[in-house]
Structure 1
Amino acid sequence: MEPPARDSVKRMSPTLWALGSRMLCVKIGVAEAQQLNTIASWKDGDSEFRLIPRDEALLVGFGEGDSAVDRIQECGTGGSVFSIGNEAICKAKSWYEGRQLEGTTIEVVREQFPSVPLPEVLYSWNDPAMHRTFLITRRVYARTLNAAWPDLSASQRKTIAVEGH
């Protein structure tokens, strides 16, 4: 898949990210009153992040950008996960016509099973030109099962193994 999923999100500057071929993410100070065609926004400490339609004029002079600096996981050729600031995660995954967006799946599960803990979806879209889906969620701070496993008792491990089937 070209370009590789690991190159789907590029940091152009400390305040600008290119997300696929359709979107930009801009970090602004909360006190700044910039008029942007905002699709979604979120607060992150003293800053605000805004997702806007891609505007090539905003990218002039930035070069190619860096896809590695914010990448926190590379999932082979099919997807990658990126950090956007301290409070948001952007997942880029392969996409084909008819495939449901992960954000839609999360919302369906949230509605049908409200007790299941799920990340807050900030925005989700597909990018047909790149054959990608993008999902931006609030970061969930938690201990992974992989990290917790050594501290679990044999009984707890067995319960998890049985529930996983």
Structure 2
Amino acid sequence: MDIPIESSICQIGENRWLIGHDHICELREPSSSNDESIYHWQDPAGRTFQIRYTSSTLATSPTLIPPFYSAGGAAAVWEFAGLIWKVKSWTTGIEHEAQTIGFVKDTFPSIPVPEIICHWTDEKRSFLAMKRAPGETLDYLWGGLTDLERQTIASDLADYVVLMSRNRRDCLESPSGLGVTDAFVRPESWHLPTFRLETIEAREYFRPLEIDDGFVFTHGDLNPQNLLIEKGKITCILDWEFAGFFPRWWINFKARIYAMSLSSYEPPNAWINAMRKELETRGIVLDFDKYEEWMCKRK
């Protein structure tokens, strides 16, 4: 029986944690050897932490640490040792989020993404450790922003979206050429975790919607919880696991879904409306009648 994703990290001593089955994160003592360290970094206080492998039986009973965020058993997020730790369900064929972030960092250096310290996978889970970026989520800050600040954030984000969309492929796929994991795009009868299409297949699959301009790179989940803001500016775009190469109109569709809503502000669709307006002024539109026809066929 698999252990819950929320049990992926536990504390095994002061400044010492077991991550997954065989990785230990710990404060590095000044006199300790670095031979076993596979990653190391400094926290904001200047203390050095490291990760090393372990195959030993624990001498103490582990204490579970509740994550500060959990997504229905599919993902969980913690913060300790100066880093944000993200654990997700994973299987062979799914692109690691760290690979996607690396692709964005190399291809679009002006787009703010998390700074990754380390990442790895085991048989059923992916692990990602990254530095905390400055700012608070747009969802948290929205009520205190001026109309001009809200419009500026939506405009800046739409500019990033257009920049990313200039990178094109001939297939519906992840940056590494694997299938995408966005459940909204695949047939409802599809039971595999990823979905990939060549151009000819895609033209038939998406009809009557058109994909004549190929597939463009997009984030796929620009909800207000995934945008960090400081002083009215975007400081980091989080959660790249749904990113990939999709039809251009897909960007507009994903800007409409319920998950884009604000969680504690009325009206909750204020961010949806702001983003759609900025996208459509940049030519990223969706023929909704054709989209509904495709959705009926997709079922």
TM-score (norm 1): 0.85
| Mapping for residues 105-144 of structure 1, pairs under 5 Å | 105-128=100-123, 131-144=124-137
The whole-number CA distance in structure 1 between the counterparts of 2:8 and 2:143 is: 35
| Residues 17-54 of structure 1: CA deviation (Å, up to 9, x unaligned) | 1110131111124x233344111100122421111112
The whole-number CA distance in structure 2 between the counterparts of 1:123 and 1:2 is: 24
The whole-number CA distance in structure 1 between the counterparts of 2:279 and 2:132 is: 24
- Code of the residue aligned with 2:11 in structure 1: it is R
1:64 equivalent in structure 2: 62
Q: Which runs of 4+ in 1 moved over 4 A?
A: none
The whole-number CA distance in structure 2 between the counterparts of 1:135 and 1:12 is: 20
The whole-number CA distance in structure 1 between the counterparts of 2:149 and 2:41 is: 37
| Residues 69-126 of structure 1: CA deviation (Å, up to 9, x unaligned) | xx221121001001122x2111000001111111111100101111111111111100
| Mapping for residues 41-56 of structure 1, pairs under 5 Å | 41-44=40-43, 45-56=45-56
The whole-number CA distance in structure 2 between the counterparts of 1:157 and 1:67 is: 36
Larger Rg computed on CA atoms: 2
TM-score (norm 2): 0.49
- Rate the CA distance shift 1:7–1:114 in 2: closer, same or farther, 3 A: same
How many residues matched?
Answer: 157
Q: Which of these residues, 127, 151, 162, is aligned with residue 144 of structure 2?
A: 151
Gaps of 5+ in 2: 155-273, 281-299
1:24 equivalent in structure 2: 24
Matched, 1:97 2:95: no
User: Whose strand proportion is higher, 1 or 2?
Assistant: 1
Gaps of 5+ in 1: none
- Rate the CA distance shift 1:127–1:164 in 2: closer, same or farther, 3 A: farther
Matched, 1:2 2:2: yes
1:82 equivalent in structure 2: 78
- Calculate percent identity across the aligned residue pairs: 27
The whole-number CA distance in structure 2 between the counterparts of 1:12 and 1:148 is: 36
